[in-house]
């Protein structure tokens, strides 16, 4: 059977998705502000749980395929899907990716950012965080009504290469809105096919996962935590965008 390869949301759905996305963006920044040296990543996940509850929504990740955390917390060589750990103390020099998903009123938000623990960010970490953030911005800029998913992918990949960062290929962005993961896939590299055309009502998560070293990754024995194969540090930024007749709307920008 032919699977639908993209989803167009109705205006009524889009109203609810906008609200959930905005709640998620606010929670993302509140959680990121809590990061400080000396805390454990489990403490950070507990704080995230409290922030999500206070928002009025529920974690979109907790229980998703059995995921145990409230949010994903991925430190240094952890790329994505890291789980808060009571024995992992954050130290100055760590880079921490925080990925937040909130379900509210039947709609989903999904957004991520990476922060540096400490005051003076060293040049390599700065290149990693700025390069990843800028690759996401380039992807957003490349998303145009009437264009193709691959336009986004190419722009992300170009900026990643300009910063000499490895582009993770085994995990990709995605449609989002009513389910956490909807079609289509949004790769961070130019795939062989153009992918679907971008049309009004599409909601996409663009989420570059870039490494200081090789693009290669592996999944840990816990079946969740994704790590770089070479142990290099990794960053992850994610925004949800809505394709409209005119300018693209970034639903997770606050």
Instruction: Point out which residues bind Co ion (CB under 5 A).
Output: 99, 110, 112, 205, 238
Q: End-to-end CA distance of the chain, in Å?
A: 40
Smallest distance from ligand MF3 to CB 28, Å: 11
CA atoms within 13 A on the CB side of 172: 20
* 37 versus 103: smaller Cβ distance to Co ion: 103
* Residues ≥6 apart with Cβ < 8 Å to 72: 61, 80, 81, 82, 83, 97, 98, 99, 112
Smallest distance from ligand MF3 to CB 66, Å: 8
Smallest distance from Co ion to CB 119, Å: 27
* Alpha carbon 121 to chain centroid, angstroms: 22
Task: List residues near ligand MF3 by CB under 6 A.
Answer: 61, 64-65, 67, 72, 81, 99, 101, 110, 174, 205, 207, 238
Instruction: Decide which of Co ion, ligand MF3, none touches 184; Cβ closer than 5 to 8 Å per partner kind.
Output: none
* Residues ≥6 apart with Cβ < 8 Å to 12: none
Smallest distance from ligand MF3 to CB 64, Å: 4
Please report which helix (H) or strand (E) contains residue 159, including its range.
helix 149-162
62's tokens: 């907790």
* 159 versus 186: smaller Cβ distance to Co ion: 186
* 93 versus 181: smaller Cβ distance to Co ion: 181
* Number of neighbours of residue 200 by Cβ within 10 angstroms: 15
**Alpha-carbon gap, residue 169 to 14, rounded angstroms:** 29
Smallest distance from Co ion to CB 245, Å: 25
Smallest distance from Co ion to CB 191, Å: 17
Please report which helix (H) or strand (E) contains residue 49, including its range.
helix 41-55
* 24 versus 124: smaller Cβ distance to Co ion: 24
* 98 versus 117: smaller Cβ distance to ligand MF3: 98
* 171 versus 215: smaller Cβ distance to Co ion: 171
CA–CA–CA angle 207, 95, 226 (5° rounding): 55
* 78 versus 99: smaller Cβ distance to ligand MF3: 99
Instruction: Decide which of ligand MF3, Co ion, none touches 215; Cβ closer than 5 to 8 Å per partner kind.
Output: none
Cα torsion through 5, 11, 13, 15, rounded to 10: 130
Instruction: Decide which of Co ion, ligand MF3, none touches 64; Cβ closer than 5 to 8 Å per partner kind.
Output: ligand MF3
Instruction: Decide which of ligand MF3, Co ion, none touches 45; Cβ closer than 5 to 8 Å per partner kind.
Output: none
Smallest distance from ligand MF3 to CB 119, Å: 29
Q: How many residues does the chain have?
A: 254
Instruction: Decide which of ligand MF3, Co ion, none touches 94; Cβ closer than 5 to 8 Å per partner kind.
Output: none
């Amino acid at each position: 059977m032919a699977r639908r390869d993209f989803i167009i949301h109705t205006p009524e759905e889009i109203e609810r998705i906008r609200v959930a996305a905005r709640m998620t963006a606010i929670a993302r920044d509140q959680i990121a502000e809590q990061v400080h040296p000396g805390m454990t990543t489990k403490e950070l996940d507990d704080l995230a749980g409290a922030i999500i509850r206070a928002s009025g929504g529920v974690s979109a990740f907790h229980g998703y395929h059995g995921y145990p955390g409230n949010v994903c917390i991925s430190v240094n060589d952890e790329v994505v899907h890291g789980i808060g750990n009571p024995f992992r103390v954050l130290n100055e020099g760590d880079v921490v990716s925080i990925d937040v998903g909130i379900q509210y009123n039947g709609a989903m938000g999904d957004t991520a950012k990476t922060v540096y623990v400490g005051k003076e960010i060293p040049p390599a970490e700065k290149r990693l965080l700025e390069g990843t953030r800028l690759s996401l911005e380039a992807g957003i800029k490349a998303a145009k009504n009437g264009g193709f998913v691959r336009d986004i992918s190419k722009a992300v990949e170009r900026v990643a290469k300009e910063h000499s960062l490895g582009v993770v290929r085994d995990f990709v962005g995605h449609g989002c809105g009513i389910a956490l993961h909807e079609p289509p896939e949004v790769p961070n590299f130019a795939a062989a096919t153009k992918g679907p055309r971008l049309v009004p009502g599409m909601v996409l998560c663009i989420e570059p996962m870039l490494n200081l070293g090789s693009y290669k990754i592996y999944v840990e024995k816990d079946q969740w935590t994704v790590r770089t194969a070479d142990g290099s540090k990794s960053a992850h930024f994610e925004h949800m965008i809505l394709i409209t007749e005119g300018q693209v709307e970034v639903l997770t920008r606050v």
